[in-house]
Amino acid sequence: MNNDDGLTAEVRQAGAVELLLIRHGESEGNVAASAADQAAVEVIDVPARDADVSLSGTGRDQAAALGRALASIPSDRVPDLVVSSPYARARQTARIAVEEAGWPLQLRTDERLRDRELGILDMLTRYGVEQRFPAEAERRLWLGKLYYRPPGGESWADVALRLRSVLAELNTAGTGHRVVLVCHDAVILLFRYVLEGMSEEELLDLAAGTSVFNASITRFVRPEGHGPWTLESFNDASHLSEQGVSVTEHAGDASVRPR
């Protein structure tokens, strides 16, 4: 079980009824990765380890706009709990949004919401992987994104396993709970995979054709507080464009299907 920084402190009875999944705002790493891909270089020039990369200026604007949108939620539907990935870009997004919304909630973190770990492929572009680890590039193409695990890293299936434990705790989070989870694009896709009972093919089709927008909101509900979740909205970033804030998409590698 986790310590007080995670979900376990809220685990008592049963029945979360609403789940908001929010991707962090644009990060300096997002910007650096896009620039590296466009320049066809091998290494992404990030200023810190992945866990410590901060929001960009646009990302901070997105987090504030997100908070202003969340402030419009009726008082009887304000979330009981906001939990963030411990990575800096997610924590900063959550903190800015909660403050802007004026919610009197303590922000908590849970390491199970962190981004996928890439192991020896960390900081490399797809081109960099092909140049430096051609055998791994081939293995990834053979296995596909769900099951490929880079040395020292995680597969998407590994991430899904930790998300299943988060959802198991939401099943006993207290009757009527509404929960916000601030996390990462792959994590949101994998929440959908788990919550909707997708097949590998369905997940990879979704990932190949969808970019999860920075500071977007995905909403699941189950009014009775038990049983399956229903997807009410996915990847909604209208609150950004309505406020004149840039909508950005920094997707992972779209080559996801096994060959």
The CATH class of 8-241 is: alpha beta
Q: Which of 113, 215, 216, 117 is nearest to 170 (CA)?
A: 113
Q: Which of 224, 232, 158 is nearest to 195 (CA)?
A: 232
Provide the terminal-to-terminal Cα distance of the chain, rounded to the nearest Å: 39
Task: Say what the pLDDT of residue 177 is.
Answer: 87
Task: Say what the pLDDT of residue 251 is.
Answer: 77
Domain spans in the chain, listed from the N-terminal domain onward: 8-241
Task: Report how far residue 90's alpha carbon sits from residue 87's, in angstroms, rounded to the nearest whole number.
Answer: 6
DSSP state of 26: P
182 is written with which tokens?
């601030």
Task: Say what the pLDDT of residue 19 is.
Answer: 96
Going by their DSSP bridges, the two strands 18-23 and 217-221 should be labelled as antiparallel
Q: Give the tens place of pLDDT for each residue, 204-214.
A: 999 999 999 99
Q: Which of 8, 23, 4 is nearest to 182 (CA)?
A: 23
119 is written with which tokens?
């192991």
3-state SS class at 73: coil
Residue 25, burial from CB neighbour count under 10 angstroms (0-12, 13-18, 19+): buried
Task: Report how far residue 229's alpha carbon sits from residue 9's, in angstroms, rounded to the nearest whole number.
Answer: 22
Q: Give the tens place of pLDDT for each residue, 211-242.
A: 999 999 999 999 988 889 999 999 999 999 99
Cut 0.75: pTM above it: yes
Q: Which residues of the chain have pLDDT under 50?
A: 1-4, 9-12
235-to-13, 124, 217 alpha-carbon distances in Å: 30, 27, 5
Task: Say what the pLDDT of residue 2 is.
Answer: 46
SS3 breakdown of the chain: % helix, strand, coil, rounded to 5?
A: 45, 15, 45
